[in-house]
Structure 1
Amino acid sequence: MEKAPRPTLFDFHGVSMTKYFTENWENTQNVEARPDDILVATYPKAGTTWVSYILDLLHFGRICPERQESIPIHARVPFLEYGIKSQITGKDLVDQLPTSPRLIKTHLPVQFIPKSFWEQNCRIVYVARNAKDCAVSYFHFGRMNSIQPEPGDWNTFLRDFMEGKVVFGSWFDHVTGWWEKKQTHPQVLYLFYEDLIEDTRREIDRLCSFLDLSLSVEEKQHVVNRVKFDNMKHNKMTNYSTVPLMDQKVSPFMRKGKVGDWRNHFTVAQDEEFNEYYKQKMKNSTLQFRTV
Structure 2
Amino acid sequence: MCCRCVLISGTTWVCYIMDLLFFGKTCPERLTSIPLHERVPFLEISRTSPTSEYVQKGRDLLDQLTTTPHLIKTHLPVQFLPKSFWEQNSTIVYVARNAKDTAVSYYHFCRMNYCMPEPADWSTFLQNFEEGKVSYGSWYDHVSGWWEKKQSYSKLHYMFYEDLSEDTGREMDQLCSFLGLSLSAEDKENVLTRVKFDNMKTNKMSNFSTIHHMDQTVSPFMRKNDSVSLGKVGDWKNLFTVSQNEKFDEDYKQKLKNPTLHFH
Task: Give the equivalent residue in structure 2 for 1:284.
Answer: 258
Deviation at 1:214, TM superposition (A): 1.2
Distance 1:41 1:209 in 2: 18
The TM-score normalised by the length of structure 2 is 0.94
Deviation at 1:283, TM superposition (A): 2.4
Distance 1:57 1:41 in 2: 17
Task: Give the equivalent residue in structure 1 for 2:5.
Answer: 40
- Which amino acid letter does the alignment assign opposite residue 163 of structure 2? D
Check the 8 A contact 1:236/1:242 in 2, yes or no. yes
Task: Give the equivalent residue in structure 2 for 1:56.
Answer: 19
Distance 1:83 1:149 in 2: 15
Distance 1:62 1:156 in 2: 46
- 1:104-253 equivalences under 5 Å are 104-253=72-221
The ranges of structure 1 where at least 4 consecutive aligned residues each deviate by more than 6 angstroms after the TM superposition are none
Check the 8 A contact 1:78/1:104 in 2, yes or no. yes
Distance 1:94 1:87 in 2: 14
Deviations 1:109-136, CA, capped at 9 Å, x for gaps = 0001111111111100000000000000
Distance 1:281 1:153 in 2: 24
| Residue 270, structure 1, aligned to residue 235, structure 2 | no
Deviations 1:79-104, CA, capped at 9 Å, x for gaps = 00111353220011111110100000
Deviations 1:261-282, CA, capped at 9 Å, x for gaps = 1000000000000000000001
Deviations 1:135-154, CA, capped at 9 Å, x for gaps = 00000011100011110110
- Count of aligned pairs between the two proteins: 253
Check the 8 A contact 1:176/1:285 in 2, yes or no. no
Q: Secondary structure at the match of 2:104?
A: helix
Distance 2:66 2:119 in 1: 37
Check the 8 A contact 1:131/1:171 in 2, yes or no. yes
- Which amino acid letter does the alignment assign opposite residue 176 of structure 1? S
| Residue 260, structure 1, aligned to residue 234, structure 2 | yes
Distance 2:72 2:31 in 1: 16
Unaligned runs of 5+ in 1: 1-35
Task: Give the equivalent residue in structure 1 for 2:41.
Answer: 78
Check the 8 A contact 1:41/1:108 in 2, yes or no. yes
Deviation at 1:285, TM superposition (A): 4.0
- Which amino acid letter does the alignment assign opposite residue 84 of structure 1? R
Q: Secondary structure at the match of 1:189?
A: strand
Q: Secondary structure at the match of 1:84?
A: strand
Deviation at 1:284, TM superposition (A): 3.5
The TM-score normalised by the length of structure 1 is 0.85
